[in-house]
Amino acid sequence: MHLVQQILFIILAAAAIYIFAKKIVEMRRNILLGRDEDLNDNKSQRWKNMALLALGQKKMFKRPVPAILHLFVYAGFIIINAEILEIFLDGALGMHRLFAPMLGGLYAFLIGFFEILAALVLIGCAIFLARRNILKVKRLNMAELKGWPREDANLILITEIILMALFLTMNTADQSLQKLGAEHYTPTAPFWITSNFTGIFSGMSAGTLVAIERTCWWLHIIGVFAFLNYLPYSKHFHILLAFPNAYYSKLIPQGEAKNMPEIQNEVLYMMEPDKAPPTPAEPAEHKNFGAKDVTDLSWKNLLDAYSCTECGRCTSVCPANLTGKKLSPRKIMMDTRDRLEEMGKNINANKEFIPDGKQLINDYITVEELRACTTCQACVEECPVMIDPLSIIMQLRRSLVMDDSNAPPEWNLMFGNIENNMAPWKFSPDDRDAWTQG
């Protein structure tokens, strides 16, 4: 019987890992559809950012209550995975509590610590569910979260509660079997939480307890493998992507926008014609100014889209959104990810991308949304995993203005004044200085 379970576990684990790896390769391909961008400078600062922002969750603590709850869930989820290592080895080797004889009294201490974390995860997830569905926190119930995004968040929280409950039930049954001296159940010191609840199984036979313990063990590991393969389709993939996203976050001051060399050179050649290069025999192929679709964005922009937690902190501080405008930085990231996923499915079906007549502007993100942005950087400052919605907004807006000549009349008036008067106002330099006379 143990051999059958061992074989089934190995088949299940191999299938889960293969499917997960295949999806990761696909997502990496999708991210690399973006333009190249060199973000390998100042590695020491980048490692520091990753440690403080992704691992230490530094920016989360601007809002202490959800930050502490999130820390419980996050730390518990990550650290309890150390126990998954033992479960994995037990399943592959046909063993039970492989590390217990090796670690002695330390083993019970570690399992007890894991149980406390599991209880904190369970409590934290229950509170998060209440915040979303009972208290209805505004940023967690906005229009862009209707449908699947809200269901996704609830599903993940419920799944984590179930996994932690299975872990604790499994340990309780194990402790009861130890008291009965059941075969294969290695005696350990009492676990900190579950040893106090063995009474709920009093009077049960060893066979029944083994069935409960084994059922919880199998459901727990199947749930872990299912959760692993669900992550890439969920906003909760930020559990993994927060680390590279924090590492590759921009190090330049937030208010510093990237200039476009092509435009800078055109201005330079207009002012100093002698520096202009010879006119080529054949005109160069037109290069998009800004971005119309996800392939015009950089790979970092696309990594941002996959890393978005949909927490809504960006939108909750956006002054445009707060005044009733349609712009939501969170929706910008969600739309970018949706378009990228759609493009990836197109490539999967056709082995290459077949134009589908769609683009990010208009089909996903409206002109009204883009024009509402004040470029105040509030969304960038607020994001706990260093996502930069403003970079995407600016590139899409550049395409509208510079490729499509699509700008509001007041913008065009300003552009004309800058071109003719070297200032946003309609007065010439001489007229602007007239106030100094007399």
Structure token pair of residue 87: 């479960």
Residue after which a domain boundary falls, among 247, 279, 306: 247
Same domain, 203 and 67: yes
Query: Is residue 258 domain-resident?
Result: no
Residue 266: what pLDDT? 76
Residue after which a domain boundary falls, among 247, 278, 300: 247
pLDDT in tens, 271-317: 787 777 777 666 666 677 889 999 999 999 999 999 999 999 999 99
Look at the pTM and tell me if it is higher than 0.75: yes
CB-based contact 245:385 (threshold 8 Å): yes
Residue 258: what pLDDT? 78
Residue 410: what pLDDT? 86
Query: Is residue 55 domain-resident?
Result: no
pLDDT in tens, 219-264: 999 999 999 999 999 988 998 999 999 999 989 887 787 788 877 8
Same domain, 112 and 237: yes
Residue 282: what pLDDT? 65
Residue 63: what pLDDT? 87
Structure token pair of residue 292: 């119309």
Same domain, 128 and 193: yes
Query: Is residue 214 domain-resident?
Result: yes
Same domain, 104 and 231: yes
Query: Is residue 362 domain-resident?
Result: yes
Same domain, 97 and 184: yes
Residue 281: what pLDDT? 60
Distance between CA atoms of 394 and 33, rounded to whole angstroms? 19
Residue 286: what pLDDT? 62
State which residues form the domain around 314.
Answer: 32-39+289-428
Query: Is residue 381 domain-resident?
Result: yes
CB-based contact 169:198 (threshold 8 Å): no
CB-based contact 417:424 (threshold 8 Å): yes
What are the Cα distances from residue 9, in Å, to 21, 86, 186, 316, 376?
A: 18, 13, 21, 45, 53
What are the phi and psi torsion angles at 354 (to 5°)? Answer: -100, 120
Residue 14: what pLDDT? 95
- DSSP per-residue codes, 309-344: ----HHHHH-HHHHTT-S--HHHHHHHHHHHHHHHH
Say how many domains are in the chain: 2
Residue 411: what pLDDT? 87
Question: Greatest CA span in the chain, whole angstroms?
Answer: 105
Same domain, 119 and 226: yes
Distance between CA atoms of 9 and 212, rounded to whole angstroms? 18
Same domain, 243 and 304: no
Per-position pLDDT tens, the chain of length 438: 478 888 999 999 999 999 999 999 999 999 999 999 999 999 999 999 999 999 888 999 888 888 888 888 888 877 877 788 888 899 988 888 989 999 988 999 999 999 999 999 999 999 999 999 999 999 999 999 999 999 999 999 999 999 999 999 999 999 999 999 998 898 899 999 999 999 999 989 999 999 999 999 999 999 999 999 999 999 889 989 999 999 999 898 877 877 888 778 877 777 787 777 777 666 666 677 889 999 999 999 999 999 999 999 999 999 999 999 999 999 999 999 999 999 999 999 999 999 999 999 999 999 999 999 999 999 999 999 999 999 999 999 999 998 898 998 888 888 888 878 778 887 777 777 777 776
Same domain, 236 and 316: no
What are the Cα distances from residue 319, in Å, to 161, 322, 379?
A: 36, 5, 10
Query: Is residue 48 domain-resident?
Result: no
Residue 196: what pLDDT? 93
Residue after which a domain boundary falls, among 187, 220, 247: 247
Residue 183: what pLDDT? 85
